[in-house]
Chains A and B, each alone.
Chain A
Amino acid sequence: MTNDAQPSSRPPLHMRINLPIVIAFACIILLLLIGSLYSKSFLSPEYLLQQLKVASFLGVIATGMMLIILLGQIDLSVPWVLTTGAMMASAATAYGPLGEALAVPFGIACGVAMGLVSGAGVAYLRIPAMIVTLAINVIAQGLMVAYTGGFSPADTASDAMRYLATGNLILGVPNAILVWAAIGALAVFALNRTTFGRAVYAIGNRESAAFLSGAATQRVVMFSFAISGGLAAFGGVLLAGYAGKAAQSMGDAYLLPAIASVVLGGTSILGGRGNYLGTVAGVILVTLLQSILSVMQISEYGRQIIYGAVIVSMLLLYGREKALR
């Protein structure tokens, strides 16, 4: 019973926990070096800033996904909750100056509402997250197709949306990066310094122990899904601002990358363990990988295969590391 407890002097444990982050950053540098063999511009500040800007959209979405994965759950509703956020914000813009002013919060609120429904299903009705969020994804899709009639919506993004996604507040630094940095800072604070963050880790590690310790486990799970929904919608709002308008399948390309960047950043897919810095690394890694594969002018199918293979092999690498513990 007590023989599985190891001697208490194991200082390298922090190192072990952070190993995936080190690997992820090493892979980022490796990718940049490989890229620079193709073109010198890969190491230029313009290219790097541009990549960070593209990464910001994924970063915002992955922040919500990380929260859910830390709980040991999954959020598959990202694609259409994201699209809902983009379309609803654009739609609000069409309703005069007040609508335009409220476009961003309205888009996010729609995502929060959908997340709340998923969260209530998972926390109170005890439906597996995979099922609930998949259902919410389809419902959101139905609602949006009904709203647009299946065509590309006519509404365009508001000025605020464009400014958030494409403007430069500080000289040369795109606003999207600042938005991601702000959300990231909030996430780090919430995860490390608040009772909410502790509860998230505790639930992901052992929900029964967290519940018996008096944590409001159901409420924490429900609000986490609401936050994830809100961030996915916010990502959609930013993307709509970036592209000028919302589009039907704009969210499809974000589900797997969001999950991949969280897990590549060392967050355990089983929940309870993970660090936001890792998610940052994962997001940049996934973005760079996509960018380099397209620069290398590999055809679409080849890109998909390589992209998937890289993710699987990196996860295998982490899995091995965990087994050694």
Chain B
Amino acid sequence: MADETALFRMEGISKRYGGVHALEKAELNVHAGRVHAILGENGAGKSTLIKVMSGVVAPDEGRMFLDGQPISFADPASANRAGIVCIFQELSLIPDLSVADNIIASNPPTRFGLIDRKEQRRLAEEALAKAGGEDIHPRARVGDLPLSRQQIVEIAKALARKPRVLILDEATSALTASDVTKVMAVLKRLRSEGMALLYISHRMHEIAELADECTVFRNGRNVESYEQGTKTDNEVVEMMIGREYRHVFPEKTPLPPSDKPPALEVRNLSWFNKLNNVSLDVRAGEVVGLGGLDGQGQRDLLLALFGVLRGVTGEILIDGRPVTVKNPRHARSGEVGMALIPEDRKTEGLMLPMSVMQNLSFAALGQLSTFGVIDRAAEKKRIDEMIRLLAVRTASTDIPVSALSGGNQQKVVIAKWLMISPKIILLNDPTRGIDVGTKQEIYQLLRKLSDEGAAIILYSTDYDELIGCCDRVMVMYDGEIKTTLAGNEITEHALVGSALNIGTEEREAGAKPGVGA
């Protein structure tokens, strides 16, 4: 389906990370003067696609064409030179430099080898005007500008590179509705000037307003491309979910009613503008899932519960007693009995160069020592128990934990926390980047722990996991819990629908099984 009129074309692009196919034979046609929206769940391959396009990563196979000519990029700079510029989700501006310095950061105009300030300022003003930010002074410090203006500067910075294809990756996710309107107006003007725009967003109404054409991605493949307006929201959601292979999950055990207070209860938890009045409760023996798109406050919620964040307001009750969790040390103490399996095992979960043994016993050292002196025999015994319980595959407990596979590293992180016998276990996407076999072992372990009376909160970006593991799922959007789904209500349709926060009707329809599905 080679489209000769396309300005930029991708054919059969594949990219693997380890054993995981991030992109598999992906195709894409981008036309000048049109806005092309890319849709897909977390991990559908959208970001990898952009990274390939903008030269950040090289594809394993496949070809790219610009103006019908084959092209490949060694690095982002060469993609920029070819006219493909990407605005990434996180702002890439340097807050302490001026607007002009930021816009012309990569190759400033020079005179006699020195930066030509006048010329730089002229170029910056030109780019700002194109981006709809005439009112921003080129000499202002970027850090002093409000977020929406910073986003305009970001766009101006991209425009200063004279792009033919402009990629916006969740560029509006940090903006408020009124700011989005301004950015949209700019983007529409750029389209009318003949630029090709690639727009990635989870906000369906933005796509409806802006896009000319949409392509849905799922599991690294482009599922379907269609003209905007020819599909309903429901159809789009169906396409994004697809009907896929499911993991084998252990059977859920229904929780008998009990009048005991919940193991963990949270009332009106807020943290700056990242968490807004979050209230939830988890009973002993229950697995509660946190759903929603990446970065809607789930991670902050877990960190707030674990006492990591400063300035959290609201109440936390453990077994009905109000408790202020001061820090992770307090959280793991007998009074609270909480464990957090963090998001990134390499930087937050493990001390990679240290041995498997030292990592495993680290959180529980208090229980394995008297007056600070470690009882090595007891340490060895407990560690052997844990390694057996979780079936950690390691040649010896003395080798550095970095020598283990990803799945086994994750088991070490979990085992480390099980050594303190926690009553409340918080998990931040524990199966990200690990193999299917280990995933299943972790699911079974979670169920076993909850059957033994642990209260578990599981944040996962994998909807299958939420459906298969959780008794209840709370879907977060913009720092708030928007929807709570329980039992049979937990379906992919309901999860995706409420994650995208598409109008109330769809959400209710999705929440009732059978309706809309």
Whether chain B is bound by chain A comes out as yes
Residues of A within 8 Å of B348, CB to CB, are 206, 208-209, 212
Residues of A within 8 Å of B130, CB to CB, are none
Please list 12 pairs of residues, one from A and one from B, whose beta carbons are closer than 8 Å in the complex, sorted by A's number: A2-B406, A3-B18, A8-B394, A193-B376, A195-B365, A195-B369, A202-B358, A205-B353, A206-B351, A209-B349, A211-B328, A213-B362
Question: Is B400 close to A, CB under 8 A?
Answer: yes
Q: Which of B306, B333, B353, B433 contacts A2 (CB 8 A)?
A: B433
Residues of B within 8 Å of A195, CB to CB, are 365-366, 369, 372-374
Residues of B within 8 Å of A40, CB to CB, are none
Q: Given contacts A2-B406, A193-B373, A195-B372, are A8 and B395 in contact (CB under 8 A)?
A: yes
Question: Which single residue of chain B is at the shortest CB-CB distance from A197?
Answer: B374
A55 to B200, CA, bound (A): 65
Q: Check if B351 sits within 8 Å of A209, measured CB to CB.
A: yes
Q: Given contacts A8-B395, A196-B372, are A273 and B409 in contact (CB under 8 A)?
A: no
**Chain B 390-420 against A: per-residue CB contact (8 Å), 1 yes, 0 no?**
0001110011101111110100000010000
A117 to B439, CA, bound (A): 48
Q: Check if B332 sits within 8 Å of A13, measured CB to CB.
A: no
Residues of B within 8 Å of A193, CB to CB, are 373-374, 376
Cβ distance B425 to chain A, nearest Cβ, rounded Å: 14
Q: Check if A210 sits within 8 Å of B362, measured CB to CB.
A: yes
Interface contacts beyond A212-B348, A272-B351: sample of 4 additional A-B pairs, CB < 8 Å, sorted by A:
A2-B19, A195-B374, A201-B351, A272-B354
Question: Is A216 close to B, CB under 8 A?
Answer: yes
Q: Check if B363 sits within 8 Å of A214, measured CB to CB.
A: yes
Question: Is A15 close to B, CB under 8 A?
Answer: no
A213 to B17, CA, bound (A): 29
Q: Check if A194 sits within 8 Å of B373, measured CB to CB.
A: yes
Q: Given contacts A214-B331, A216-B329, are A13 and B351 in contact (CB under 8 A)?
A: no
A202 to B398, CA, bound (A): 15
A140 to B404, CA, bound (A): 48
Interface extent on B, as a size class?
A: 35 or more
Residues of A within 8 Å of B331, CB to CB, are 214
A143 to B433, CA, bound (A): 57
Q: Which of A6, A8, A202, A212 contacts B354 (CB 8 A)?
A: A202
Question: Is B56 close to A, CB under 8 A?
Answer: no
Q: Given contacts A193-B374, A272-B351, are A213 and B363 in contact (CB under 8 A)?
A: yes
Question: Is B352 close to A, CB under 8 A?
Answer: yes
Q: Which of A1, A195, A201, A209 has the most CB of B within 10 A?
A: A209
A2 to B431, CA, bound (A): 12
Question: Is B340 close to A, CB under 8 A?
Answer: yes
Cβ distance B367 to chain A, nearest Cβ, rounded Å: 10
Q: Check if B352 sits within 8 Å of A206, measured CB to CB.
A: yes
Question: Is A303 close to B, CB under 8 A?
Answer: no
Residues of A within 8 Å of B352, CB to CB, are 205-206
Q: Which of B20, B308, B351, B361 contacts A205 (CB 8 A)?
A: B351
Q: Which of B20, B327, B340 has the most CB of A within 10 A?
A: B327
Residues of B within 8 Å of A297, CB to CB, are none
Q: Which of A1, A7, A198 contacts B403 (CB 8 A)?
A: A7
Residues of B within 8 Å of A10, CB to CB, are 399, 403
Q: Check if A5 sits within 8 Å of B405, measured CB to CB.
A: yes
Question: Is A9 close to B, CB under 8 A?
Answer: yes
Q: Which of A195, A196, A199, A201 has the most CB of B within 10 A?
A: A195
Residues of B within 8 Å of A6, CB to CB, are 402-403
Residues of A within 8 Å of B308, CB to CB, are 211-212
Cβ distance A10 to chain B, nearest Cβ, rounded Å: 6
Question: Is B350 close to A, CB under 8 A?
Answer: yes
**Chain A 1-25 against B: per-residue CB contact (8 Å), 1 yes, 0 no?**
1110111111001100000000000
Q: Given contacts A10-B403, A195-B365, A198-B374, are A209 and B347 in contact (CB under 8 A)?
A: yes
A9 to B393, CA, bound (A): 11
**Chain A 173-208 against B: per-residue CB contact (8 Å), 1 yes, 0 no?**
000000000000000000001111011011001101
Question: Which single residue of chain B is at the shortest CB-CB distance from A196?
Answer: B372
A8 to B402, CA, bound (A): 9
Q: Given contacts A193-B376, A194-B374, A213-B416, are A5 and B328 in contact (CB under 8 A)?
A: no
8 pairs of A and B residues whose beta carbons are closest in the complex = A2-B406, A1-B433, A205-B351, A214-B332, A8-B395, A214-B329, A3-B18, A213-B363
Q: Check if A5 sits within 8 Å of B433, measured CB to CB.
A: no
Cβ distance A69 to chain B, nearest Cβ, rounded Å: 15
A272 to B355, CA, bound (A): 12
A211 to B326, CA, bound (A): 12
Residues of A within 8 Å of B434, CB to CB, are 2
Question: Which single residue of chain B is at the shortest CB-CB distance from A213?
Answer: B363
Interface residue ranges of B100-131 to A (CB < 8 Å): none
Q: Check if A201 sits within 8 Å of B354, measured CB to CB.
A: yes
Cβ distance B349 to chain A, nearest Cβ, rounded Å: 6
Residues of B within 8 Å of A214, CB to CB, are 327-329, 331-333, 363
A273 to B329, CA, bound (A): 24
Question: Is B342 close to A, CB under 8 A?
Answer: yes
A6 to B393, CA, bound (A): 13
Q: Which of A1, A8, A14, A212 contacts B328 (CB 8 A)?
A: A212
A140 to B405, CA, bound (A): 50
**Chain A 309-324 against B: per-residue CB contact (8 Å), 1 yes, 0 no?**
0000000000000000
Q: Check if A8 sits within 8 Å of B351, measured CB to CB.
A: no
Q: Given contacts A1-B18, A1-B433, A195-B374, are A206 and B350 in contact (CB under 8 A)?
A: yes
Question: Is A112 close to B, CB under 8 A?
Answer: no
Cβ distance A324 to chain B, nearest Cβ, rounded Å: 15
A215 to B394, CA, bound (A): 25
A43 to B188, CA, bound (A): 85
Q: Which of A196, A206, A213 has the most CB of B within 10 A?
A: A213
Cβ distance B404 to chain A, nearest Cβ, rounded Å: 6
Q: Check if B328 sits within 8 Å of A13, measured CB to CB.
A: no
Q: Given contacts A196-B372, A206-B347, are A8 and B393 in contact (CB under 8 A)?
A: yes
A199 to B369, CA, bound (A): 13
Cβ distance A208 to chain B, nearest Cβ, rounded Å: 5
A6 to B403, CA, bound (A): 5
Cβ distance A179 to chain B, nearest Cβ, rounded Å: 23
A5 to B376, CA, bound (A): 28
A198 to B229, CA, bound (A): 61
Residues of A within 8 Å of B327, CB to CB, are 211, 214
Q: Check if A1 sits within 8 Å of B17, measured CB to CB.
A: yes
**Chain A 202-234 against B: per-residue CB contact (8 Å), 1 yes, 0 no?**
100110111111111000000000000000000
Q: Check if A194 sits within 8 Å of B369, measured CB to CB.
A: yes
Q: Given contacts A5-B405, A193-B376, are A198 and B328 in contact (CB under 8 A)?
A: no
A257 to B403, CA, bound (A): 35
**Chain A 290-305 against B: per-residue CB contact (8 Å), 1 yes, 0 no?**
0000000000000000
A14 to B333, CA, bound (A): 34
A198 to B358, CA, bound (A): 8
Residues of A within 8 Å of B402, CB to CB, are 5-6
Residues of B within 8 Å of A201, CB to CB, are 351, 354, 358
Cβ distance A55 to chain B, nearest Cβ, rounded Å: 29
Residues of A within 8 Å of B435, CB to CB, are 2
Q: Check if B365 sits within 8 Å of A8, measured CB to CB.
A: no
Question: Which single residue of chain B is at the shortest CB-CB distance from A194?
Answer: B372
Residues of B within 8 Å of A211, CB to CB, are 308, 327-328
A116 to B7, CA, bound (A): 65
Residues of A within 8 Å of B19, CB to CB, are 2
